[in-house]
Amino acid sequence: MHTHAQPAISRDYRLIVSPHLSQLPACLELREAVFARELNWVPSSADGRERDQFDPFSVHVAVIHRWRPAGYLRLTPHGAPWMLSECFDFLLEPGIAREFDSDSLEVSRLAVERQYRGHKQLGAFGVFDLLIKGIVDHSLNSGARYWYVVVAEPIYRLLLSKQLPCERLGPLVSMPDGVQTLAVRIDLTAFLQVAAPFFTSRPLKNVDEAAEARQKQARKRSLRVVNEHSEPVFNDESATQVVFQQPASADHGPAREKALAS
C-alpha cells in the first residue's frame, strides 16, 4: 500500500472517502448503469446520471481505477433521511424503522462495474472488499457502530462469507428484476473481532496528512521539482485517499458479485 499520491496507472486502485467527491459525476453514471439499466430499480435519468434526494446528506465511497470508478457506495448518517425508511420500509418488520440505532449509518447505492466483479485485483481482495474497507474506516472515524443496508440475497450471502455479521430485519421480497432482496443490520464491533487486517489497517485520515507524507518523501529523495499536476483533486479536506497496487498476478475468478444493494 502506498500512502503517497501518484498518477493513476493501470495497476493502481484508489480508495476515496469524501462528502464532496470530484469523481462523483462518473460514479452517478455507474449508478445509472447498475440501478436503472441493469436492475431496472429506478427510471432512467435524462443525463445518464442516477441521483436522488439522499445524496446531499451522504458521504461517498469510491474505488478509482484508471481515472474511472470501479466501485461505489454512499453512507448516510443517522438523523438524515434514509432510503430504508422512506423507500424500502416494506422490507422491515413493523416498528423497526423507529428503532434505528443512533450510532449507525445507512449504506446504499452499492455498485461494482461489471468487469471488476468476482475478481481479486489485490491478492486475496477485490473492489468489493475495498468498498467494505471504506465503510470501516469512515465508521471508525465517525463513531458509527451499526450499518443498515438493503441487499440482494446473493450479496447477503457474500457479506456472510466475508464474516460480516448480518442481522436480518424483515422478509425476503422480490424486486422488479426478480432478485430476492432484504434489509440487514451489520455490527461493526462484532466484525472487527474477526476481520482480516486488510479491512482494519487505517489509512491516512485526511488530505493534509497525505500531503505531509508526500513532502517528507520528496525531501528524502532530494527532489527539486514537484509535479502538482500528478496529484489527485479533492473538494474537501476531510477526504481520505489510499492507493493500493495490484499484484503482478491477480486472480480473475468467476464473476460472483452482482453488486446489488439499494
Tens-place pLDDT, residues 103-124: 999 999 999 999 999 888 888 8
Band the pLDDT of 177: cuts 50, 70, 90: confident
Is residue 250 classed exposed, middle or buried when 0-12, 13-18 and 19+ CB atoms within 10 A define those classes?
middle
The rounded mean pLDDT for the chain is 79
pLDDT at 244 over 70: no
Residue predicted with more confidence, 122 or 136: 136
238 contacts 100 by C-beta, under 8 angstroms:
no
Q: In the chain, helix, strand, coil percent, each to 5? A: 30, 25, 45
4-18, 133-147, 196-210, 244-258: least confidently modelled range: 244-258
Q: Backbone phi, then psi, for 115, in 5-degree steps?
A: -65, -15
Q: What is the pLDDT of residue 118?
A: 86
Q: At 94, which helix (H) or strand (E)?
A: none
CA separation for the pair 164, 187 (Å, rounded)? 8
Q: What percent of the chain has pLDDT over 70?
A: 72
Grid coordinates representing 141? 472515524
CA separation for the pair 114, 248 (Å, rounded)? 21
Q: What percent of the chain has pLDDT over 90?
A: 61
Band the pLDDT of 98: cuts 50, 70, 90: confident
Grid coordinates representing 172? 425476503
- In the chain the domains, ranked by start, together with CATH numbers, are 12-245 (3.40.630.30)
pTM: 0.76
Grid coordinates representing 66? 484508471
Mean pLDDT computed over 9-38: 89
Q: Three-class SS of residue 59?
A: strand
